[in-house]
Structure 1
């Protein structure tokens, strides 16, 4: 609403133009608009609407000075803020007073007047508390925490960060989820507060023996809050995820939980075993670490034989620091809670120069220990539903346009070279224009000739299996089977795709796409499967949020474990792996160990010795059998 008719509308319009000019990097033009807006605002009557315009003006002035300090005189910014503060106090508006003081603190920080800036933040917090303005208080406390950190006041910094995180937690249900370039609003704007608190807690734990355990536990819970929020953002709603306290008692013998946390100058490892929590830190620049992770992931997806160097580098960062502890405590299974881009790579494929991690440890991926439900049960006995698609039907008409084009031949050289050469499972992403002119070519591109062999091999390992193959694997037939039968294992050998959001993730049946929402509704809460196997699914290339889709299935559908793949996988190698995986399950081997043993079998085959063939499959979910 305008402050007073046409002059207020003019001021608002000019401020809008100034903001647009900044977005377009036209800083001189923005500065001229802001000076005009300041003159217009001065003529308005003193009321709350004028204060809103004054605060908008002050904010834009501050932003402009960040990019071009000389374009706008300091006096103009100070005048705008001082007038806004004066008017807010006169009208007894605590929220607007807090905003004005907060902006003044920002201005003083820009000028290097840190002590005065901190004092203004304290005043802003006082008025923000009067209005219970948590959205403002979280930023004020966060800024105060950074000030105390820069001035080596660790305890004061931790206290401020704790308050900031407390405000975020209180507001989480009301903060909308938005995305830009595949990244969520939480990850870009709020997760750094949690990470900065965790860094302080780790640092204090090293120098405070009497509080060491408590501080590490708080750091662990802080990291867990990030994991939970990332899953909520993946679902694009504030759903209530199952959560419970964590302690060492929940881990079976021989099992350890590993939390890597990436910071700008180092990677920290939090290790939970029966002996308690331990903390390790390795210096490495974040840019260097991310480059190594992305290089390794790209080489693995491309079936590039030259992958062992980045695999060895990552081993030094993630496993070598904890190797002695793992050996001394006879650890044979790692529950791995990866951080950000580390979700793109399989831990089992890391290499010490002689052995892969999978040769010594079974691995279970978890979105967070507090998000899991209970210790998993055995899948040695029970009914198995096998659903396979070697030749898709009408479902290809429902595939997203961005995927269809990548399945058609291009100018002379196949854009699916890996699919052609290795019989790979999984849909390769392409961004060319959509061409649906050849349904037959698309269906041929999606053929999985070894699926029938895979289904037959698995059936021999189960006395109670039901099979849906090709035309019998319709969406309705699958739905009926899942809803009306208490299957312990549901095995789907069909193309599927996990993108950066739940809405863009799906599995193919013969006639229709099976969405994640639909899959969730199918599983009766009283007879949810212990294990869901997705033997031909993949995650989106280069998007470190995509693997959350596998975790999302586990959490939302309340399946105890999900076995899925990180990239398109060899058809023949998958059939071999699945045959032995189920053979070990039948013998009563725990799921993670059964997967490890099956991967070792595949590794022994000369043609599948490279890690790209045996390591894509990851087990996500609960610990135990």
Structure 2
């Protein structure tokens, strides 16, 4: 407020000194400008009294008067600044951004230092409404050679040696990256902020940086815990232990930073930051199973909270304290224990009361929405629904929270067996998610529970309700009303697939939707059936779509965990090179997924099966299913796609096929992981050159980013063939290819190289990766493989689920490309022919370990 008073005082001086130089034609405005000053003063008094909404009206009137007056641009800028901060104070970030624009427009040509500082405040407004990419663009932009872009907040502050502005900009940048889920980058920038804050002895900035560092390390600890759980489920006990140790270390660092923040806030008698520090300590103690310390800290936070002024900090602190009365409150649908619910209700009611008085609708939506959830947990649905509807109205402009209350409305209706109302609410929630998918699905993407607990269930619950009325194991005609319902289910499932990919690949994911829902596959391909799997908690739906528009759904009555175990057993058997192959698991899965549709496939004369898989089913090749007599690949060509909306259904012209063929024959070590030499890769590259005339090889040392970018910029290649080790991990950072100079090339980086070239103006026709591997049972890694074509900017991808001897790979590649040049053969049929050739070779090659891992992803035509 001191800063605000200084600015108003300066505004008055400017106003008085300008009286002597006003011309006659301005006299009609002279009588208005003094009134503007009165409105400014009125706004100050109301702001100081905590009446933030009351301050807005007189300031807006003053702004209008100054805008009409000549030579009052600076006054306009100052009032706009004050309005921006006030709107930010009451949670209206969009309004704040609009006024920041006005103020920045004035300062940009005359005061770079102030411009940089206001850019930082505008970025904070963007972060407050979940738009972290815009915040990062204002603060630093895309880092080039370790430097922020010109005219960003960091660059401006550094250029003008504004240490205060630089510390604030680095801190805001670190917080934006933290919220986005890039914790290591966040920590780097927050350390920059802390270092400068200590140098200039600014305790407020130090407190803020320390607190944010604590949160970033806490987030890293959460990531580690969940990765450890995943590794443990996969039987990787050593890796699980290492991850848990690292998580514990990060939790200890988080504790240290937050405690330092608390001590400094106590020295400054800063109750707001003391309360925030105590709140941040509670989950850290829970993670250490130190429940006594957590309870004591909760009481200390509650005591300080009572002394806070009635502002949005107090509101959000109350919401956090209500939820932190027990340790396991990660999921928005998780219920507090009955014994702590009364205390939580009291806190939330107080928070709601403050939000109503300050007219902070965003904070109000969270307070009463959480209150509604407690009544939902109590099965007291009348007040639950009333409160949730109020939360929806309050969140109307904040879609990143609106979908939560629409979802909660749907759950309440569903609990009351009001299915039409429930479906309507769920559809509204998904429609809201679709409009903000880029922001909410790329934020905190490393914390899998964020997506799986707050987005994924909405889609699956809606699918479950819609499928409830569809008859099972009955062929439904294209004109049947149930078929229309199934099309709606498949549309929802496809949207879920898009959301999963966006969440997996994060902020750099470019989802190019090429097909709208309801596309008539039969008009494009009359001999292909589409199989879609949807895994729910207690059972799995398999929906087959035929070229004539008919559909059929069958239910696999297995819960999620049982299905996972049996599919993993199937995958383990496929990879057992040196054991005699046991077809029993393959026959079991065939009986589940294919046999119920046998007669319909025969009647429709189907020769190609395309699978849109869900969850753990992505991790196994359908070609290896067995009917008791032969493998599925011996009857059908097989392909997979992450979703029809991402698949360009257009046949290619093989006459123009040539490849950029990259390969690595030598051993490599990446991040301590050893990769064996691939002795037959040179032969494989030779086969590519033989079958696709005009291809260009880049082998070993020549296979590097520079040469790759050079070739792509100078020549057009419909096919990129990469014969090197590839790893698909739980997170995109662990999804990479090994280059010839022993560096990691992530799929995202490959996409950037492809898209940044001028020659490949269209998506490449095919990306081939012949030595990839995904961990058994890791459906997050399998999701990355399923989306590899999309993320690499390719119409199709040919990749392997596990590594095999490269001699077999060379044979598959040779046959595949030879068949691909035949215009009468689709990509799926070309792969089928290559796999059959290996099976027919006999001996060890009949084992699916050698031919099954190759899967075609994307466009199968």
Bucket of the pairwise TM-score, normalised by the shorter protein = 0.7 to 0.9
1:52 aligns with 316
Change in 2 beyond 3 A, CA 1:103/1:611? same
Q: Which of 582, 588, 594 is the equivalent residue of 1:313? A: 588
The answer on whether the counterparts of 2:661 and 2:698 sit within 8 Å (CA) in structure 1 is: yes
Deviations 1:274-295 (A, max 9, x none): 2225233222111110111122
Q: Which of 598, 602, 622 is the equivalent residue of 2:859? A: 622
The answer on whether the counterparts of 1:94 and 1:127 sit within 8 Å (CA) in structure 2 is: yes
Change in 2 beyond 3 A, CA 1:54/1:234? closer
2:429 aligns with 164
Change in 2 beyond 3 A, CA 1:489/1:18? closer
Per-residue deviation, 1:315 = 1.6
Q: Is the partner of 2:638 in helix, strand or coil?
A: strand
Change in 2 beyond 3 A, CA 1:61/1:474? closer
1:498 aligns with 728
1:99 aligns with 366
Q: How does 1:73-472 map to 2 (within 5 A)?
A: 74-129=341-396, 132-175=397-440, 176-180=442-446, 183=448, 185-206=450-471, 211-237=481-507, 239-243=509-513, 244-246=515-517, 247-249=519-521, 251-276=524-549, 278=551, 279-303=553-577, 304-379=579-654, 382-391=657-666, 396=668, 399-404=669-674, 427=675, 445-446=676-677, 448-470=678-700
The answer on whether the counterparts of 1:46 and 1:87 sit within 8 Å (CA) in structure 2 is: yes
Per-residue deviation, 1:101 = 2.0
Is 1:599 matched up with 2:849? Answer: no
1: CA distance, partners of 2:685 / 2:301: 71
Change in 2 beyond 3 A, CA 1:615/1:42? same
Is 1:20 matched up with 2:284? Answer: yes
Q: Is the partner of 1:377 in helix, strand or coil?
A: coil
The answer on whether the counterparts of 1:248 and 1:273 sit within 8 Å (CA) in structure 2 is: no
2: CA distance, partners of 1:75 / 1:458: 70
2: CA distance, partners of 1:180 / 1:255: 37
2: CA distance, partners of 1:112 / 1:27: 29
The answer on whether the counterparts of 2:335 and 2:377 sit within 8 Å (CA) in structure 1 is: no
Change in 2 beyond 3 A, CA 1:498/1:30? closer
1:439 aligns with none
1:433 aligns with none
1: CA distance, partners of 2:749 / 2:283: 43
The answer on whether the counterparts of 1:27 and 1:68 sit within 8 Å (CA) in structure 2 is: no
Per-residue deviation, 1:79 = 2.4
1:423 aligns with none
1: CA distance, partners of 2:307 / 2:774: 58
Change in 2 beyond 3 A, CA 1:21/1:515? closer
Change in 2 beyond 3 A, CA 1:44/1:450? closer
The answer on whether the counterparts of 2:438 and 2:502 sit within 8 Å (CA) in structure 1 is: no
Q: Which runs of 5+ in 1 are unaligned?
A: 405-426, 428-444
Per-residue deviation, 1:565 = 0.5
Deviations 1:262-314 (A, max 9, x none): 01111112222222252332221111101111222233234354552222222
Per-residue deviation, 1:36 = 4.4
Per-residue deviation, 1:346 = 0.3
Q: Is the partner of 2:645 in helix, strand or coil?
A: coil
Change in 2 beyond 3 A, CA 1:458/1:62? closer
The answer on whether the counterparts of 1:145 and 1:157 sit within 8 Å (CA) in structure 2 is: yes
Over the aligned positions, Cα root-mean-square deviation in angstroms equals 3.2
2: CA distance, partners of 1:267 / 1:308: 23
Deviations 1:53-83 (A, max 9, x none): 32222232376797883764x5433322332
Deviations 1:239-277 (A, max 9, x none): 441113031246411012221010111111222222225
Per-residue deviation, 1:187 = 3.8
Q: Is the partner of 2:511 in helix, strand or coil?
A: coil
Deviations 1:358-400 (A, max 9, x none): 11111122111101234131425533444443335xxx3xx42
The TM-score normalised by the length of structure 2 is: 0.61
The answer on whether the counterparts of 1:280 and 1:321 sit within 8 Å (CA) in structure 2 is: yes
The TM-score normalised by the length of structure 1 is: 0.83
Select the structure with the greater relative contact order (CA < 8 A; seq sep ≥ 6): 1
Per-residue deviation, 1:41 = 3.1
Q: Is the partner of 1:231 in helix, strand or coil?
A: helix
The answer on whether the counterparts of 1:475 and 1:512 sit within 8 Å (CA) in structure 2 is: no
2: CA distance, partners of 1:51 / 1:472: 59
The answer on whether the counterparts of 1:385 and 1:489 sit within 8 Å (CA) in structure 2 is: yes
Change in 2 beyond 3 A, CA 1:115/1:483? same
Change in 2 beyond 3 A, CA 1:238/1:186? farther
The answer on whether the counterparts of 1:376 and 1:560 sit within 8 Å (CA) in structure 2 is: no
Change in 2 beyond 3 A, CA 1:527/1:171? closer
2: CA distance, partners of 1:620 / 1:360: 19
1:526 aligns with 761
1: CA distance, partners of 2:817 / 2:343: 72
1: CA distance, partners of 2:709 / 2:328: 57
1: CA distance, partners of 2:857 / 2:300: 58
Change in 2 beyond 3 A, CA 1:92/1:313? same
Change in 2 beyond 3 A, CA 1:277/1:187? farther
2: CA distance, partners of 1:102 / 1:63: 20
Deviations 1:327-361 (A, max 9, x none): 22111111211112211110111122222111111
The answer on whether the counterparts of 1:389 and 1:469 sit within 8 Å (CA) in structure 2 is: yes
Deviations 1:144-182 (A, max 9, x none): 21222222211011011011112222222222343458x
The answer on whether the counterparts of 1:500 and 1:543 sit within 8 Å (CA) in structure 2 is: yes
Change in 2 beyond 3 A, CA 1:70/1:33? farther
Per-residue deviation, 1:573 = 2.0
The answer on whether the counterparts of 2:509 and 2:791 sit within 8 Å (CA) in structure 1 is: no
The answer on whether the counterparts of 1:389 and 1:451 sit within 8 Å (CA) in structure 2 is: yes
The answer on whether the counterparts of 1:564 and 1:619 sit within 8 Å (CA) in structure 2 is: yes
1: CA distance, partners of 2:653 / 2:286: 60
The answer on whether the counterparts of 1:577 and 1:598 sit within 8 Å (CA) in structure 2 is: yes
Change in 2 beyond 3 A, CA 1:52/1:231? closer
1:413 aligns with none
Change in 2 beyond 3 A, CA 1:133/1:332? same
The answer on whether the counterparts of 1:135 and 1:171 sit within 8 Å (CA) in structure 2 is: yes
Q: Which runs of 5+ in 2 are unaligned?
A: 1-203, 205-264
Q: How does 1:534-573 map to 2 (within 5 A)?
A: 534-573=769-808
1: CA distance, partners of 2:492 / 2:444: 22
Structure number with bigger Rg? 2
Structure with greater proportional helix content: 2
The answer on whether the counterparts of 1:487 and 1:527 sit within 8 Å (CA) in structure 2 is: no
